[in-house]
Structure 1
């Protein structure tokens, strides 16, 4: 049996919002559920440690493979991955489960989704937990233009705007790609230094030059866990995941009509000390935009916090849930 089968609840499927979403569910079906939203390049499997801990503590927990990922549908248009579709999937999943409101917890790109949920679907959100990814107010200009000017044309989000090439590079050897990304601590500090092209966070260059045997960072995953990620992206490709990034400009345009604050719901922000992409300093402006906010720091963790420091993350989430959503 694969690690997906031994470490996760049985997969379930929901036809929602024009796609099929695969999801994993655990714990008693009572109270306010916690929906765990993964990032890039990840899967619901990234939450395996949290699913078990939350369920064992008596919480109803739901972790979807989001559109474009894992066992869920992979639409073939870039615009099928904009923020309205991504948040719409989560609202429709609640409809499928007969749930009025949920606590949304998101890491990396999933963090962007969960912070947008109370702006786009406020009636469906009981609380928000951001892991590494802070609430980011709308940029003063197109964020792709800002990133290109600040980080260069090969910065990974800017590079992702190119058609076809990112999928080809990332998908050429998915075991190598996932081994490169999933390291402990996964701060990727080297990526913050300019590459030969002058760009920072130029993952394309780093990946193509990477030699796993010479990488001083410890692997984050066991071989069986790595195989879950590598097999999933080998089978499903990277078009969908990369297309989330290709909607940055579209989402920025959409945000012009959205609220700029989150009030009336409890929010928890968990930062990771060694995350070079989403450093703790990125969360410092959040109190100006969120009325009810707690912020916690996980020391010694890079970017993949729920997998690098699962016990610390579980403790922080459970403590907050016990205080803000007592059973």
Structure 2
């Protein structure tokens, strides 16, 4: 198992009006780029178990901390975190390295950015691997409005939008406790509690289930959020309705070859009709929760490498 001593050191790269903290390995494999895109509230370090196997398989592995995370820029303006800016960072990163396109792999929010890359910049995406978060169908109502109607105002996506600053302050006051409570596996089933889930997690003094990672590994995430607080990364959520409008101008069909891996114990449900939108997709599942690349790294790596070799 890798630990932070083996994770590549980072460099700052100026692209698209921001500085991105980028970790890379396998520079000897120039010409075979794979870009790994983390989710919320994560860090490039969440891909630590994937680096060595991908380098060994001949890939030039590029892992940015996306804007709002780690040592990357954290713009003040909320709209700087919309999907045009987030995908624009990857387009500019490809240009920086002189790559026409790359394989993209995303987890959670990172998967959302990868799906959008395929829609907004299809010529820059060679193939895709997405973990946990399926393609998001653009329905008739903007996403936050839709979620509020079906999931209520306490659902965290909605709360982040309707009560800006409230959750940010509570998460910022309880960084270690929140992340320790969130990064758990085999959590016993519970009835949905009252109030906002992420605030409840930040305030909970007892962590359920088992930790996903060691204290050493978790400290990488904690220090990242101690540096920036949560507002920059939560601003990604505050652009969901804006993103809905931006994505209305492109075809909703993803043509690239895609691997979708779901965690069977994850709360995010599969999209049953995903093939209607992503015709060239292979769908797999693993017996795991949401933190899939950290909970089941060996099985996942094998699954990804076999698929990439096809």
TM-score past 0.5 threshold: yes
| Secondary structure in structure 2 of the residue aligned to 1:247 | helix
* Distance in 1, Cα, partners of 2:235 & 2:189: 25
Q: Say whether residues 1:262 and 2:244 are aligned partners.
A: no
| Secondary structure in structure 2 of the residue aligned to 1:254 | helix
User: What are the superposed Cα offsets for residues 112-156 of structure 1, whole Å, 9 maximum, x if unpaired?
Assistant: 000111111111110111100111121220211111122221111
Q: Say whether residues 1:194 and 2:181 are aligned partners.
A: no
Aligned-residue offset at 1:207: 3.0
| Secondary structure in structure 2 of the residue aligned to 1:267 | strand
Q: Say whether residues 1:317 and 2:304 are aligned partners.
A: yes
Give runs of aligned pairs for residues 23-34 of structure 1, distance below 5 A.
23-27=22-26, 28-34=28-34
Aligned-residue offset at 1:78: 0.4
Match of 2:183 in 1: 182
* Distance in 1, Cα, partners of 2:152 & 2:245: 22
| Secondary structure in structure 1 of the residue aligned to 2:58 | coil
Give the conservation status (yes or no) of the 8 Å contact 2:29–2:58: no
Give the conservation status (yes or no) of the 8 Å contact 1:25–1:63: yes
Match of 1:248 in 2: 240
Q: Find the partner of 2:294 among 307, 318, 321.
A: 307
Give the conservation status (yes or no) of the 8 Å contact 2:181–2:208: no
* Distance in 1, Cα, partners of 2:167 & 2:292: 25
Q: Say whether residues 1:234 and 2:222 are aligned partners.
A: no
Q: Which runs of 5+ in 2 are unaligned?
A: none
* Distance in 1, Cα, partners of 2:244 & 2:142: 7
Give runs of aligned pairs for residues 90-105 of structure 1, distance below 5 A.
90-105=90-105
| Secondary structure in structure 2 of the residue aligned to 1:283 | coil
TM superposition score normalised by structure 2: 0.95
Match of 1:9 in 2: 8
| Secondary structure in structure 1 of the residue aligned to 2:29 | coil
Q: Say whether residues 1:225 and 2:217 are aligned partners.
A: yes
Aligned-residue offset at 1:91: 0.7
Match of 1:275 in 2: 266
Give the conservation status (yes or no) of the 8 Å contact 1:65–1:72: yes
TM superposition score normalised by structure 1: 0.90
| Secondary structure in structure 1 of the residue aligned to 2:252 | coil
Match of 1:89 in 2: 89
Counting matched residue pairs gives 306
* Distance in 2, Cα, partners of 1:176 & 1:150: 30
Give the conservation status (yes or no) of the 8 Å contact 2:177–2:205: no
* Distance in 2, Cα, partners of 1:126 & 1:189: 39
Aligned-residue offset at 1:189: 4.9
Give the conservation status (yes or no) of the 8 Å contact 1:12–1:23: yes
Give runs of aligned pairs for residues 133-172 of structure 1, distance below 5 A.
133-161=133-161, 162-172=163-173
* Distance in 2, Cα, partners of 1:144 & 1:245: 9
Q: In the superposition, relative to structure 1, how do residues 206 and 30 fare at CA in structure 2: closer, same or farther (>3 Å)?
A: closer
Give the conservation status (yes or no) of the 8 Å contact 1:154–1:204: no
Match of 1:285 in 2: 273
Q: Find the partner of 1:297 among 282, 285, 302.
A: 285
* Distance in 1, Cα, partners of 2:151 & 2:202: 18
Aligned-residue offset at 1:196: 2.6
* Distance in 1, Cα, partners of 2:173 & 2:208: 23
User: What are the superposed Cα offsets for residues 297-326 of structure 1, whole Å, 9 maximum, x if unpaired?
Assistant: 111x11100011111111111011111xxx
Aligned-residue offset at 1:203: 2.2
Give runs of aligned pairs for residues 53-64 of structure 1, distance below 5 A.
53-64=53-64
